[in-house]
Structure 1
């Protein structure tokens, strides 16, 4: 086992161009229970400053390699129990570099049912089939006479030839070389074909683009694959992989190098019989198996692509610019059921709430403006934020008129309300506001999301936020795991205010469980707030290891220790204070002091510190607790454009990117229907990845190039 571990360590070291000792040290940190955010931020000297993404990939690759070797050993043992397995099979197993390749090699030997070849072998026809393969059908009568005495029951020559043919065809279909060559051929030359199922044209109208569709397998992008697989899942489409040849040329050319457990032949031109057997094996066994395998692999690839899109979009959304500690009044608009509103203070605490009815059928606009004006003045509201759902533009017009006519000292903006309704009915929302109606909870969520998207969105299941691409076609557990990783990385990259954070937010902090997070909030309420990070050790369930993992990501502003407001880990406090003394400065005088920090860089004691850790310390001293998120910005929607019917080709508008897919970006123009900037319209040059050009939450200028009101489709071009 030790030898095996060393081999795997060496493999990982080569793949990541990292010294084997470093690989060992990183894996030791994982084994000790260290989290990815902690290792990435506070153990850079060990990792060589690997990013969190690379560390996750690194750890995942290690686990994969261990599983690969375990499966390799298991397959070798299983093959040893079977008769007549050629040495070439064992050689292929030893050389396999992936689990997929291993399973492909082993698949033909996993017997799920008895085949015709099995029956023929039981009848004693194996020697006869070997002779036929070696000498050809011309000598069949002679070999029949020589071997028929070993048959378990009387068989005619025709019956013997049929049984021998079954054996040869199965041996060919089990051959590793044949399977590998066939798979490579289909991957290179195969065409993915989609046809509509009989009688499904009407119910499958949304898939009409794929009713008679063909595309080279190697060119089909992940988002199109997922659309095709969704059609297949809904029994609208039938998928197949066509090669266009009865027998692929690679197999034709290599038939005589195929070891079957039979004698190998070196003839230049394969006999017609051999080619006929090989063609039969290809059409009846090899191609159907490879088609099934490749379709499964394509689905896996497409799912991975969809998950990556969702991860990227979720990260952009979570890391969107916060408006900050602003007193906010949020409106969740509607017509018949009214506009729900909620006012929150700069910390997101509820101040007031209600429902107004400015729109038809009630039309109580004056009453609405009077109530909202009163709330704005009483609570010193700085921002009015409107959810971008039904009646949002009508509500915006009414609010902006109110601000202007009544000379109110606040501003108005429309924001995304995606996920607010999910939060409002969630257990978290019920626990926070058990007495409130779900619609009011939704308005509170909109207000808090405006103040700090990350702190509010962590309360919602990431899969419900709606920034993915065909996410409903992806395995839920796989998607959930991938998205949890994104949330964890974002939360720890930003840091968490220990005295304000919710249980939901604390749960994602490195080293903390939900129970620990709950205990932190309860302790905070008991003592009236934390004044020092060291108090965390008094919280039930948080021992030395948990403290080590979480402390650096938790902030305390205005506490007894200035460094508690920064990302500096407590383990480095004594080092920093010693450095400060070495240049005759108190710590308070060093924080935010450019001159002092410059002196610190050249202090003799600085040379004793690790390069990466010291650089991080200097950055934190310069800007303690800096927020890595961008500055807040918002779009100004055209007042003359309120619905899709108002759009005209050639219009130039401002909008907000709401979603980014592999084929382009969706933009909210304030008409209740997002427009699409196709990837070809994102720039005046080739764009490989839309995220290289735009991100969720970004304000963009666009031109309308096509409007299809009936199909609710808006085509846009990005303007610089």
Structure 2
């Protein structure tokens, strides 16, 4: 939350604008004001479009993040200025340099010479009185240096001979050079532009790398500017696991010569050699290692940020997969020895019955025959329309079993392979125990798998996003940053869809704008005690749901078949008066919401004229018209529907050139994995995603997409399938 007083909001918006030039100063100021007033990002994006110029959630968070970054920078800058001032060393030039700094690193570089350090060899040498000699040396005297140095020999100061004197001077100069902000900046920039990241396998480590996971990096080097983010994280992991040694390769002669030119210049004389030696030492012990740590941290931070963005994007698209509404579904949790757990849920997700069958070996022939009979009976007794099969252990064998049974049934029944990642986490959770306390963990898992097909968002929301596993290198990135991004993604998805307040779970309500865990539970408790909410106004009676929480949340809470038809739209109650005036003005009533007649009338509305009549913005009027035209709208209805199957393929069925349809299961830096109905997902490499250059796979495909692919290559031994989405490549490969 940005917390800036009203007095300096205008001034603060300008530096944010300098960093984020794509937004106007007025937009930035409005966002900061709205955030400072306690408004949530979803609320601002949906209901304050006139004030922000229709910025969406991502853009608003860009402004919020940059504002927070600049606030931290300002605070640190002020602290540094104060600390240097207290030392009596703050010059006008230094103060201006600090005030002009736009990055935290620049502030820290400038502060380094004044930073209170722990005792160093240089501080010991200064305490021994050697600083005057070091300063004299930097004046490039022409006389014999040792004559001057002998006068500093003092056994009591642990300077017993001339060698110890010059060693102390070297320490003072090396520290002085390493603390120089301009040296650091130049070396940092040169290393970034010209350095290479290098990794080598440790001699004794090949045995540890049993699957040769890091073989690519056994003898690897690539320019720092060109190395892909996923490689940075892979190399870091190899280093942590003590398989690889990693470093930065750079031409140190260029750096040393630059230092000599800056420090020595055209000076000559006996001091030059000692000063050059001090700079060599400064680079070897201080500057070089420090810059390498900084650059590797920069690479890691950027790679982590990228990986977190990929995880967030994948999670968003998984949550927004189109729900399969109004179908009786069987959840099928596959297993071998312990049997497959089945659970049937009705069209509203209500649990009906459960069963355990043993269709796979090592079960006996008799058990497997019984499994077929029991399975078929359940399908008929409950008129199951869809089967959701978890994609875990024994998934493909279960798919074959299901497909075989479906061929014997005359009415159409389809199955879908459902990503069951995290289902076991939910099944063992306190939420699952409170919902289905009398069921075993595996039986709860089958219910969750079935519900994931009916409403992915409502079910997946119960699981820690990290357990869903739709990213890459999620265990190699900062957990706090990952959690923050995933929380934002979940918040965006839930609020974009909205929820039925009379059926939503506490877990789902918790992510609604303005609600907390407590208020979400209070809504459910109030609903259970008093019956279904009949209008949005009655939400004001919920304990601890104050005016601000009501304002922020109510527009995202739908009431279906209530007293007021407008309550089943995403029109905010603050716009109800304008909505009723509009309806009356075009000869309609709230009861006609969603009808073709009203929709056709709304198309003819002159938005400019009506916005003036109603004294509201055109963006708000546009949203009102859309809400009246599509009550209870669900953005997910426009997303790809699950790919329904009745038959199953084996890897041996696949031939190069074969055309198939599949579902995108994961999107990563180097391509996408696609479920084509065989045991192993196929990889569409980034080079095969389109007949043009693709730098980012997520610009072409997202999780849940139904795509047409062609088989390029099948390696049954290694369980690898190579696919292409480029039809022009098929003929070249077969």
Q: Same fold (TM over 0.5)?
A: yes
The aligned residue for residue 426 of structure 2 is 423
1:98 and 1:145 map into 2 onto residues whose CA distance is 45
Could you tell me which runs of 5 or more consecutive residues in structure 1 were left unpaired when the two chains were aligned.
Answer: 258-264
Q: CA, structure 1 residues 254+47, in 2 after alignment: closer, same or farther (shift >3 Å)?
A: farther
What SS is found at the alignment partner of 1:248?
Answer: helix
1:568 and 1:698 map into 2 onto residues whose CA distance is 30
Report whether the alignment pairs 1:594 with 2:594: no
Q: After the TM superposition, which residues 83-162 of structure 1 pair with which residues of structure 2 at under 5 Å, given as runs?
A: 90-107=95-112, 109-136=114-141, 139-141=144-146, 143-144=148-149, 156-162=161-167
Q: Give me the TM-score of the superposition, normalised by structure 1.
A: 0.92
Q: Which has the higher mean CA deviation after the structures are superposed, 419-428 or 314-323?
A: 419-428
Question: Do the aligned residues in 2 keep the contact of 1:656 with 1:667 (CA within 8 Å)?
Answer: yes
How far does residue 353 in structure 1 lie from its aligned partner after superposition?
Answer: 1.0
The aligned residue for residue 393 of structure 1 is 396
Q: After the TM superposition, which residues 639-650 of structure 1 pair with which residues of structure 2 at under 5 Å, given as runs?
A: 641-642=649-650, 644=651, 647=654, 649-650=656-657
Q: CA, structure 1 residues 635+342, in 2 after alignment: closer, same or farther (shift >3 Å)?
A: same
Q: CA, structure 1 residues 110+211, in 2 after alignment: closer, same or farther (shift >3 Å)?
A: farther
What SS is found at the alignment partner of 1:50?
Answer: coil
Report whether the alignment pairs 1:522 with 2:528: no
1:57 and 1:397 map into 2 onto residues whose CA distance is 48
Match of 2:13 among 9, 16, 29: 9
Report whether the alignment pairs 1:296 with 2:297: yes
Report whether the alignment pairs 1:539 with 2:542: yes
Match of 2:38 among 33, 39, 54: 33
2:313 and 2:89 map into 1 onto residues whose CA distance is 51
2:158 and 2:199 map into 1 onto residues whose CA distance is 48
How far does residue 223 in structure 1 lie from its aligned partner after superposition?
Answer: 0.6
Question: Do the aligned residues in 2 keep the contact of 1:638 with 1:653 (CA within 8 Å)?
Answer: no
**Number of residue-to-residue matches in the alignment:** 712
How far does residue 238 in structure 1 lie from its aligned partner after superposition?
Answer: 1.6
What SS is found at the alignment partner of 1:714?
Answer: strand
1:213 and 1:638 map into 2 onto residues whose CA distance is 47
The aligned residue for residue 624 of structure 2 is 617
Could you tell me which runs of 5 or more consecutive residues in structure 2 were left unpaired when the two chains were aligned.
Answer: 728-734
Report whether the alignment pairs 1:407 with 2:410: yes
Match of 1:717 among 713, 724, 729: 724
The aligned residue for residue 262 of structure 1 is none
Question: Do the aligned residues in 1 keep the contact of 2:607 with 2:622 (CA within 8 Å)?
Answer: no
Q: CA, structure 1 residues 631+297, in 2 after alignment: closer, same or farther (shift >3 Å)?
A: closer
How far does residue 152 in structure 1 lie from its aligned partner after superposition?
Answer: 6.3
Q: CA, structure 1 residues 609+81, in 2 after alignment: closer, same or farther (shift >3 Å)?
A: closer
Q: CA, structure 1 residues 400+717, in 2 after alignment: closer, same or farther (shift >3 Å)?
A: same
How far does residue 567 in structure 1 lie from its aligned partner after superposition?
Answer: 0.5
Report whether the alignment pairs 1:65 with 2:73: no
The aligned residue for residue 333 of structure 1 is 334
The aligned residue for residue 506 of structure 2 is 503
2:350 and 2:286 map into 1 onto residues whose CA distance is 66
What SS is found at the alignment partner of 2:722?
Answer: strand
Match of 1:432 among 424, 435, 456: 435
1:155 and 1:366 map into 2 onto residues whose CA distance is 95
Question: Do the aligned residues in 2 keep the contact of 1:590 with 1:597 (CA within 8 Å)?
Answer: no
The aligned residue for residue 322 of structure 1 is 323
Match of 1:225 among 218, 226, 232: 232
How far does residue 27 in structure 1 lie from its aligned partner after superposition?
Answer: 2.1
How far does residue 450 in structure 1 lie from its aligned partner after superposition?
Answer: 0.3
1:430 and 1:254 map into 2 onto residues whose CA distance is 72
Q: Give me the TM-score of the superposition, normalised by structure 2.
A: 0.90
What SS is found at the alignment partner of 2:480?
Answer: helix
Report whether the alignment pairs 1:384 with 2:387: yes
1:163 and 1:83 map into 2 onto residues whose CA distance is 26
The aligned residue for residue 216 of structure 2 is 209
How far does residue 113 in structure 1 lie from its aligned partner after superposition?
Answer: 3.2
User: Could you give the per-residue CA deviations for residues 254-280 of structure 1, whole angstroms, max 9, x where no partner exists?
Assistant: 5149xxxxxxx7769995554443233
How far does residue 127 in structure 1 lie from its aligned partner after superposition?
Answer: 1.8
Question: Do the aligned residues in 1 keep the contact of 2:345 with 2:352 (CA within 8 Å)?
Answer: yes
User: Could you give the per-residue CA deviations for residues 581-631 of structure 1, whole angstroms, max 9, x where no partner exists?
Assistant: 223332333644233213433684432320211111111112122211234
2:144 and 2:11 map into 1 onto residues whose CA distance is 51
How far does residue 234 in structure 1 lie from its aligned partner after superposition?
Answer: 1.6
How far does residue 86 in structure 1 lie from its aligned partner after superposition?
Answer: 7.5
What SS is found at the alignment partner of 2:252?
Answer: coil
User: Could you give the per-residue CA deviations for residues 152-179 of structure 1, whole angstroms, max 9, x where no partner exists?
Assistant: 6876544433322221121111101101
Q: Which has the higher mean CA deviation after the structures are superposed, 212-221 or 648-657?
A: 648-657
Match of 1:242 among 246, 249, 254: 249
Question: Do the aligned residues in 2 keep the contact of 1:590 with 1:596 (CA within 8 Å)?
Answer: no
What SS is found at the alignment partner of 1:27?
Answer: helix
Q: CA, structure 1 residues 719+13, in 2 after alignment: closer, same or farther (shift >3 Å)?
A: closer
What SS is found at the alignment partner of 2:352?
Answer: strand
Q: Which has the higher mean CA deviation after the structures are superposed, 631-640 or 313-322?
A: 631-640
Question: Do the aligned residues in 2 keep the contact of 1:247 with 1:282 (CA within 8 Å)?
Answer: no
How far does residue 60 in structure 1 lie from its aligned partner after superposition?
Answer: 1.7
Question: Do the aligned residues in 2 keep the contact of 1:582 with 1:603 (CA within 8 Å)?
Answer: no
1:190 and 1:90 map into 2 onto residues whose CA distance is 33
Match of 2:446 among 436, 443, 448: 443
Match of 1:482 among 485, 489, 509: 485
The aligned residue for residue 654 of structure 1 is 661
Question: Do the aligned residues in 1 keep the contact of 2:403 with 2:648 (CA within 8 Å)?
Answer: no
* RMSD over aligned Cα atoms: 2.9
Q: CA, structure 1 residues 274+397, in 2 after alignment: closer, same or farther (shift >3 Å)?
A: same
Question: Do the aligned residues in 1 keep the contact of 2:415 with 2:644 (CA within 8 Å)?
Answer: no
User: Could you give the per-residue CA deviations for residues 478-522 of structure 1, whole angstroms, max 9, x where no partner exists?
Assistant: 211110110000000011011111111111000111111111111
Q: Which has the higher mean CA deviation after the structures are superposed, 357-366 or 465-474?
A: 357-366
User: Could you give the per-residue CA deviations for residues 431-467 of structure 1, whole angstroms, max 9, x where no partner exists?
Assistant: 1100011111111111111011111100000000000
2:700 and 2:723 map into 1 onto residues whose CA distance is 15
What SS is found at the alignment partner of 2:544?
Answer: coil
What SS is found at the alignment partner of 1:135?
Answer: coil
How far does residue 5 in structure 1 lie from its aligned partner after superposition?
Answer: 5.6
Question: Do the aligned residues in 1 keep the contact of 2:648 with 2:678 (CA within 8 Å)?
Answer: no
What SS is found at the alignment partner of 2:371?
Answer: helix
The aligned residue for residue 679 of structure 2 is 672
1:52 and 1:670 map into 2 onto residues whose CA distance is 36
The aligned residue for residue 700 of structure 2 is 693
Question: Do the aligned residues in 2 keep the contact of 1:183 with 1:290 (CA within 8 Å)?
Answer: yes
The aligned residue for residue 283 of structure 1 is 284
1:94 and 1:237 map into 2 onto residues whose CA distance is 42
Report whether the alignment pairs 1:23 with 2:28: yes
The aligned residue for residue 452 of structure 1 is 455
Q: CA, structure 1 residues 138+232, in 2 after alignment: closer, same or farther (shift >3 Å)?
A: farther
Question: Do the aligned residues in 1 keep the contact of 2:256 with 2:280 (CA within 8 Å)?
Answer: no
What SS is found at the alignment partner of 1:469?
Answer: coil
Question: Do the aligned residues in 1 keep the contact of 2:343 with 2:352 (CA within 8 Å)?
Answer: yes
Report whether the alignment pairs 1:492 with 2:495: yes
Report whether the alignment pairs 1:554 with 2:562: no
Question: Do the aligned residues in 2 keep the contact of 1:389 with 1:672 (CA within 8 Å)?
Answer: no
The aligned residue for residue 260 of structure 1 is none
Match of 1:563 among 557, 562, 566: 566
